[in-house]
A and B are shown apart, each in its own frame.
Chain A
Amino acid sequence: GQSLEQPSEVTAVEGAIVQINCTYQTSGFYGLSWYQQHDGGAPTFLSYNALDGLEETGRFSSFLSRSDSYGYLLLQELQMKDSASYFCAVNRDDKIIFGKGTRLHILP
C-alpha cells in the first residue's frame, strides 16, 4: 500500500529541539515535503527534499533518506508559536499523499 506514518503527538519544551519522523511504505516518488497547520488554519509549505540529505531553512531542517524510507523535520529553538500540526507528503503517480499529521505541543 501507499502510506506515510507519523507519530500522532509530540511534546517538547520551549527553546528545545524536536524531531518529527515520517516513514513511508511507498516507492517511485520524487521527494518529500513538510507542511505546518495551526488550529483553524490552512496548511503552509515548510520545506521540500528532492534528494537525500539535509535541507535547512532557518530554525527548521528537513532530512530524507530514500534507502531507509525515512524522513524527518527538525525544529530548533522551539517557540510557542510552533505549536501546530505537521504533515509530511509525497507525490506518488501524480497523487499527493499526506501523512495524518503530528500534533506538536510545546510546554513553557
Chain B
Amino acid sequence: DTEVTQTPKHLVMGMTNKKSLKCEQHMGHRAMYWYKQKAKKPPELMFVYSYEKLSINESVPSRFSPECPNSSLLNLHLHALQPEDSALYLCASSQDGPAGGYTFGSGTRLTVV
C-alpha cells in the first residue's frame, strides 16, 4: 500500500458542529502532516507529528485539534469553525522527516456554513 487515504472526501458542517477528519497510511512512515490549502494557493503547514508526537503546531487556532492515535493514523478534530476555515485539508506522510519527500492524500474539501 503506497497511498495516504483521507476521509471523508467532502464535508459540510455548521459553525456549531463537531467533526473529525481522518488520515491513514500503511507505508511505515513515521512523520505525518496536516496542511490547509485555499483555492489557488499553496499548501500551508498546520501540524507535524513525528513518531506519534506533535512536533510542530504552526500557531493554529484551538478550534483545530490534531490527534495521532498510532503510527498509521492521524485525525483532525474540528469544533466551532468559521466560514473562513473552508478549504482543502491535506494529509501527508514521509519516512522520517521531509528529506525523502511527502506522499499526499487526496484531501478533504471542507465547507463551513
Co-complex (A, B): no
The interface of chain B, by Cβ under 8 A from chain A, is none
The interface of chain A, by Cβ under 8 A from chain B, is none
